Amino acid sequence: MSQQLPPGQIATVKWPILHEGDVYQFDEASWSFKLFGAIEEELSLSFSEVMTLPKLQKTVDMHCVTTWSKFGTTFEGIPFREFIKLIKPHSDAKFIRIYGYLDDDPYGYSANLPLDALLGDDSLFVYRWKDDTHDWANISPKHGYPLRFIPPDTFYLWKGTKWVSGIEFMTEDQAGYWENRGYSMTANPFKEERFSDPDSKPSGFFGADEWKD
């Protein structure tokens, strides 16, 4: 809830919508959440199993690399750390990728993050939200229903995978969808880490100006 505007960002009141591909249509029967990679035993959870995990509410800021920032959105969700309690990561598993749908592929989208940055209350798999002008509601399909990740505000929002399908544990920091297309591995908005090479902005920059209030 820092309400600090990172360099090069513009505050918006609206909650813009940005993603690649189609909006995922939730189907509980085929939905699962998988924990895999550098862990002792892989685990697959149903939607009802995920929803029995401990939850909390937290007000956070969101910073999109296309330059909009939205302050003060309150989310209800399951802390990332609750999933770690269900498995035994290898001792050298220092990074993760959070996967989500891209069109019909449940693992088509992903974003990498360092594990040790995700253990606080500001690292949430969310399903409900509110803000100053909206009462509590489920996350809409376009924003990631039934479940999407919200990263700590020290990461740009592309690290916030929508329509999540699982967490991969990794011993090396491996790129996700946008990181493979020229975006930063570390992605700290307050250091303006937008691109992996600050001198060459990737082509196919997404987002345009549609979000402006």
Ligand X SMILES: Nc1nc2c(c(=O)[nH]1)N[C@H]1C(S)=C(S)[C@@H](COP(=O)(O)O)O[C@H]1N2
| Contact residues for ligand X, defined by CB under 6 A | 15-20, 64, 100-102, 109, 143-144, 157-158, 160-163
The C-alpha atoms of residue 155 and residue 95 are separated, in whole angstroms, by 14
Measured from the CB of residue 90, what is the shortest distance to ligand X in angstroms? Answer: 26
Q: Match 């992903």 to its residue by tokens.
A: 110
Is residue 190 within 8 A of residue 6, CB to CB? The reply is yes
DSSP structural state of residue 152: -
Measured from the CB of residue 171, what is the shortest distance to ligand X in angstroms? Answer: 24
Measured from the CB of residue 63, what is the shortest distance to Mo ion in angstroms? Answer: 9
Residue 58 or 143: the one with the smaller Cβ distance to ligand X is: 143
Beta strands 68-79 and 10-11, pairing class: parallel
**Alpha-carbon distances of 103 from 21, 47, 115, 160, rounded to whole Å:** 5, 20, 27, 17
Q: How many residues bind Mo ion (CB under 5 A)?
A: 4
CA 172 to chain centre: 19
Candidates 58-66, 82-90, 103-111, 115-123 — which segment interacts with Mo ion by CB under 5 A? Answer: 58-66
Among positions 63-82, residues that touch Mo ion (CB under 5 A) are: 64-65
Q: Judged by CB under 5 A, which of 158, 177, 183, 195 binds Mo ion?
A: 158
Residue 151 contacts which entry, Mo ion, ligand X, none (Cβ below 5-8 A, type-dependent): none
CA 165 to chain centre: 12
Residues that bind Mo ion (CB under 5 A): 18, 64-65, 158
